[in-house]
Amino acid sequence: MSDSEKKENAGKAEAKASEQPAKKKHRPAMIVGIVVAVVVVVGVGFSVWHSQPSFCNAICHNPMDPYVETYEATPGQPATDKWGNDVSNASAMLAPVHAQAGKTCLDCHEPTLNEQITEGEQWVSGSYNSPLSERTTQQLLVPRGIENSDEFCTNDTCHNFSHDDLIKKTAWMGPINPHLNQHGQQKCSTCHKAHRASVMYCTQCHTEAVVPDGWVSYSESQALDQPSY
């Protein structure tokens, strides 16, 4: 082998040797990149799942089952409320109606960190009611920093109309229009229920008031089987 050939081979060997450390240096960076990508994908997936009823059902299957079943009910069809009572038309419950509109649990139930910690402790210790006690409108307002209960429902992302517009929408009900203010403005949740049949509160005094399909009168709501807690 000539001197020139020896020099050429030596140069190739040096070049090849210099490439190895570079490749080794890149490997940790690639591994870190892959790990970060996997964590991001898993995090995004968990975030999406966390907003679905299947998450509530999987993590807290016993107390949440009745609530998830109402969410999965079909509007216009018979269903069962969270207490096990028959509902002639699932459209009388807000949960399945909102589900059909593409809303998820977290669109209404925005948990605070303190609430999640408390619920976690109750779940581990078993000190919870089944089904869970009904959330009040006030409890739903606090995490959002809202004081007016009407704003929880009538806002830019949900029902974008004013109370006056609402009065006009139900003008067909005549003088016993539940949205008129003759007895003071009522909270939406007084009549509209999410996981049980909505209640025509006006029938407490006006027995002739129209009760929408699937709804119950005030006296019927009081007679329903429901937890004492």
Domain for residue 219, yes or no?
Answer: yes
Domain for residue 61, yes or no?
Answer: yes
Domain for residue 42, yes or no?
Answer: no
- What the block records as the tokens of 106 is 């977290």
Domain for residue 156, yes or no?
Answer: yes
Domain for residue 183, yes or no?
Answer: yes
Q: pTM score, two decimals?
A: 0.70
Averaged over successive runs of 10 residues, the pLDDT of the chain (229 residues) comes to: 53 52 56 56 47 56 81 96 95 96 86 75 77 80 79 87 90 90 86 95 93 96 84
Domain for residue 107, yes or no?
Answer: yes
Domain range for 174 is 51-223
Query: What per-residue confidence (pLDDT) applies to 12?
Result: 53
Query: What per-residue confidence (pLDDT) applies to 193?
Result: 95
Query: What per-residue confidence (pLDDT) applies to 74?
Result: 97
- Structural domain total, the chain: 1
Domain for residue 92, yes or no?
Answer: yes
CA distance 66 to 84: 8
Domain for residue 197, yes or no?
Answer: yes
